[in-house]
């Protein structure tokens, strides 16, 4: 059985934190981080607002991300070995791929591949507060959150909903351990118990 799980949602919703916990627990589990597919800085467009447009789909090499997912689908054992994930003999029929990122459900070729799509959210104020504590490879210039990050989040989320993409919303203000248990149980109930 091959299961692809999306851990998506807003910036600073807690996607990477949750993904890292799941990765340690789920059997034969590999991960692909969307943030690893950002294009180089000189290829990022500058908008009329003067900001580099990081939070749009065009800033990511989604074709490369899709190819990486397809490599896992073709041969999850080979993919696991190549990424240093030991294949557990007792669960060698089960393979899990976690896709983690902020625009997972807006790229058409990926949308139908997920067995489950999680979507982490926190309120605007909490998102802005968490983001202000972060250091990205390219630091946020003043005003980026309200001028670009938040409006793009709302735009893509609106499109996702209008397109009827089914997601499981998660409250990112819950404690880390509680979120982890909730999602782990949901995954186990949905898939792993069925094999």
Ligand X SMILES: NC(=O)c1ccc[n+]([C@@H]2O[C@H](CO)[C@@H](O)[C@H]2O)c1
Ligand Y SMILES: Nc1ncnc2c1ncn2[C@@H]1O[C@H](COP(=O)(O)OP(=O)(O)OP(=O)(O)O)[C@@H](O)[C@H]1O
Binders of Mg ion among 13-42, rule CB under 5 A? 16
Site for ligand Y, rule CB under 6 A:
11-17, 35, 102, 130, 133-134, 172, 174-176, 179
Q: Of Mg ion, ligand Y, ligand X, none, which one sits near residue 149, judging by CB under 5 to 8 A according to partner kind?
A: ligand X
Supply angle C-alpha 159, 164, 168, rounded to 5: 95
Decide if residue 68 touches Mg ion (CB under 5 A). Answer: no
For helices 150-162 and 124-132, what crossing angle results, to 10°? 130
Closest CA to 161 of 101, 113, 121, 115: 121
Among 1, 25, 35, 155, binds ligand X (CB under 6 A): 35
| Min dist. Cβ of residue 117 to Mg ion (A) | 17
CB of 27 or CB of 37, closer to ligand X: 37
Tokens coding 12: 């600073």
CB of 3 or CB of 122, closer to ligand X: 122
CB of 37 or CB of 87, closer to ligand X: 37
Bridge partners of 95, per DSSP, are 2
Question: For Mg ion, what does the binding mask look like between residues 91 and 110, x meaning CB under 5 A?
Answer: --------------------
Tokens coding 160: 């996702």
The alpha carbons of the chain give a radius of gyration, in whole angstroms, of: 17
| Min dist. Cβ of residue 161 to ligand X (A) | 19
Q: Which helix or strand (DSSP H or E) is residue 31 part of?
A: strand 29-33
C-alpha distance from residue 176 to each of 8, 24, 97, 156, 172 (Å):
16, 14, 21, 25, 8
C-alpha distance from residue 151 to each of 5, 11, 57, 141, 172 (Å):
26, 12, 14, 16, 19
Among 51, 72, 79, 102, binds ligand X (CB under 6 A): 102
| Min dist. Cβ of residue 94 to ligand Y (A) | 25
CB of 164 or CB of 177, closer to ligand Y: 177
**Rule CB under 6 A: which residues touch ligand X?**
11, 35, 38, 54-55, 102, 136-138, 149
**Rule CB under 5 A: which residues touch Mg ion?**
16
């Amino acid at each position: 059985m091959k299961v692809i799980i999306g851990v998506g949602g807003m910036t600073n919703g807690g996607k990477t934190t949750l993904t890292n916990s799941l990765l340690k627990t789920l059997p034969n589990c590999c991960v692909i981080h969307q943030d690893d597919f950002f294009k180089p800085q000189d290829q990022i467009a500058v908008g009329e607002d003067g900001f580099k447009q990081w939070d749009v789909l065009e800033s990511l090499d989604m074709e490369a991300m899709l190819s990486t997912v397809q490599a896992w689908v073709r041969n999850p054992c080979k993919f696991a070995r190549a990424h240093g994930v030991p294949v557990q003999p007792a669960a060698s029929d089960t393979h899990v791929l976690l896709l983690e990122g902020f625009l997972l459900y807006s790229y058409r070729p990926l949308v139908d591949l997920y067995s489950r799509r999680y979507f982490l959210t926190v309120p605007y104020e909490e998102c802005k507060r968490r983001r202000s504590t972060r250091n990205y490879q390219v630091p946020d210039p003043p005003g980026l959150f309200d001028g670009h990050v938040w409006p793009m989040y709302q735009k893509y989320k609106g499109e996702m909903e209008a397109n009827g993409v089914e997601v499981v919303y998660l409250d990112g203000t819950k404690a880390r351990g509680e979120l982890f248990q909730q999602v782990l149980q949901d995954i186990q109930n949905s898939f792993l118990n069925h094999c």
